[in-house]
Amino acid sequence: MENSGEDLRALPLHTCHADPLIRFYRFYLTFYTIAILTLFYHHILQLLSSTSVIFFCLYISLFFSNIILAVNGLSQQSLCWYPVHRRTYPERLPNKELPGLDVFICTADPYKEPPMGVVNTALSVMAYDYPVEKLSVYLSDDGGSDLTRIALSEAVEFAKHWLPFCRQNNVYERSPEAYFRSNNNYRSEHVKILYQEMKVKVENQIINKSISKSNLAEHPSVIQVLLKTDHDLDVSGHPLPNVIYVSREKNRIFPHHFKAGALNALLRVSSLMTNAPFILTLDCDMISNDPITPRRAMCFHLDETMAEKLAFVQFPQKFQVNKSDLYGNEFRRLQTNMLGLDGMKSTIYIGTNTFFRRRALMSNMPVVPVPEFANEVVGATYEVNGRTKWGSTVGFRYGSLVEDFFTGYLLHCEGWKSVFCNPKRAAFVGDFPITLDGLMRQAKRWTVGLADVAFSKYCPITFGLKHCSPLLSLAYFHYAFWSIPSIPVIFYGILPQITVVHQIQMFPNIRDPWFWLYFFMFVVSYARDLADFVLAGETAEKWWNDQRMWLVRCVTCWPVGILESFLKKMSYFSSSSSTVGFHVTSKVTQYDSDERYKLGIFDFGTASEKDSPSPYIVSLAVFATMSLVGFTVGTARALKNGKTGDFTLPLLLCGFVVVNSYPIYKAMVFRKDNGRIPWKSVQLAFFITAFIFSFSSCVKL
């Protein structure tokens, strides 16, 4: 046995190998760069040969749009310079070598983030295949709600039955809701009844409104230890992990810094109570799907060759999507890019599913565990007046609505490293908004936060180049400016439609060799994107929905987010208006919305005629309508004038948008359910479309 143990210690805890297609990726980058330079040469020729001021302005706009697309494309391709794949061997880690782990779960509003969802997340991590005496679970309730606290209290009682059941039956799905949804056998009947009883108790608190809705913006601090490892046992006599409920004090007078502030409060409290050397941060809707996930993370953290500078191990976000991933929620491009970032040992922090080394966040903060001081460090005034370095050089960083991206970026600038762990079985599975309007609001918040970084002193092309490698700076540039392609996409969503309707030739004729450069670059770019999906084991249908959602974001939430960030920078919004851009994403699912999603039907989430038209849905309808008008009227006029060859390129662009917009047309005209686009929004879209075409006609004249 001793020899066996020594042999295990001699074996590596993880392996890493380069992607076999790395040469192809580099060849494609070279080819793509040459094609872009050739396209720029063509634009210069156009500018030199322009015959009027209007044409010169149009050509310069086209040139500027393609520069943005080129920079975005090149920065995207740089992420594929050295993609790697990692494999872990958690079975080689003996229990006695596993370090302490503090789990941070964040929730903010019990009416948007249902307590039963929070409970399932907590239970799934409490049941980890990890020594319970080394595991502590902290729940941050930024809403200060009795609903959440009571739900967690009920959950820890149920855990006394659930945890031994998972151990005895080798359960992998350790979220009870997920397990009972897919399993139904006699062995689980008793535990299922207990779970249903707990669920009824929790949900009755909301239904009966027996507890008043708390003031989310102002409430006192509460710290309650619900389970203690050295005191509480489950029904089989085994100890239970520590479970601590934390609600920091919030006061309207003092900034609370949203999720970053909540995480920093947990950092301080946990350092005084358990002070584990490693931390897992989780969103409240992201359940654990694999009980050995912490062991996988420790395969990296306990590797002596990288432990000195390894800040965190990032696991991907996976969601319970339908078979076609209707809204592109899996962000396959992000997961593909993660492999390239991993090759630089600089995977970005995505805000959840992340195992941190505490020292990376609190490197210069000596801590003496004194639980009696815990209430003091979660007070609303603890960080006021620059008395501490929290949020600047210590903990999760303030200054952006995307505290995750910003924190990871600054850690990398400080010299810390990170890795990406993507096992075959998803480590975590979460929920997401299943209405288009809800998704756009969420993406707009990300856009505002990323723009905060892009247009600050921490911009990756200035600050980043000084503190990290050029390739990593380019990667962070890509994400900080992830919404910038909305400018050329809006341009291409308007100009070709106008030119083809008014029969103004601005793009190369089909007989012109330059036509084939445009056509070839478009086809090759999309073919490469499709290949990435297929090679990752996804379907062409998922790829199609993903690229459609990219276009949707380009003409809806991204430009709105850029505008909001610009207005904030120009002090249009008061600096005290701390809620600008920030909205808690609702995880509440309506039955009819859920059914539509399962059937693959778009839910625009704005069917009430009483509500004001959503700017996202109206802009989407405008671009869809303009392309339909451009394609039909433009085709008819080109055929009539015998100039189809002159307008092939803009007609192809219009046709591409029309095909992508099929669900929008159905929702505008044919659907009668609550997920349709309201007639008020349709009318407004028709009016704006008519105005744009009429105005362009006047300019032409």
Active site residues: 142, 404
The CB density around residue 376, as the number of other CB atoms within 10 Å, is 13
Regarding beta strands 135-141 and 242-247, do their DSSP bridges make them parallel or antiparallel, or are they unpaired?
A: parallel
Query: In 413-509, which ranges are E strands?
Result: 417-420, 428-430
Nearest partner of 59 among 551, 461, 628, 499, judged by Cα: 499
Assign 3-class secondary structure to 260-327: HHHHHHHHHHHHHHCCCCEEEEEECCEEECCCCHHHHHHHHHCCCCCCCCEEEEECCCEECCCCCCCC
Q: Which two tokens stand for residue 54?
A: 């209007």
The conformation of residue 200, written as its DSSP 8-state character, comes to H
Type of residue at 573: F
Give the separation between CA 101 and CA 356, rounded to whole angstroms: 10
What Å distances lie between residue 455 and 398, 399, 460, 463, CA to CA? 15, 12, 9, 11
Annotated binding-site residue? 259: yes
Grouping H, G, I as helix, E, B as strand and the rest as coil, residue 140 is strand
Annotated binding-site residue? 389: no
Give the separation between CA 401 and CA 493, rounded to whole angstroms: 29
Annotated binding-site residue? 444: no
Grouping H, G, I as helix, E, B as strand and the rest as coil, residue 141 is strand
What Å distances lie between residue 21 and 33, 535, 537, CA to CA? 19, 10, 15
User: Residue with structure tokens 């740089």?
Assistant: 78
User: Residue with structure tokens 């400016």?
Assistant: 481
- DSSP lists the bridge partners of residue 281 as 104, 354
Annotated binding-site ranges = 112-113, 142, 259, 283
Bind-site residues for Mn(2+): 259, 283
Q: Which residues are annotated as a binding site for UDP-alpha-D-glucose?
A: 112-113, 142
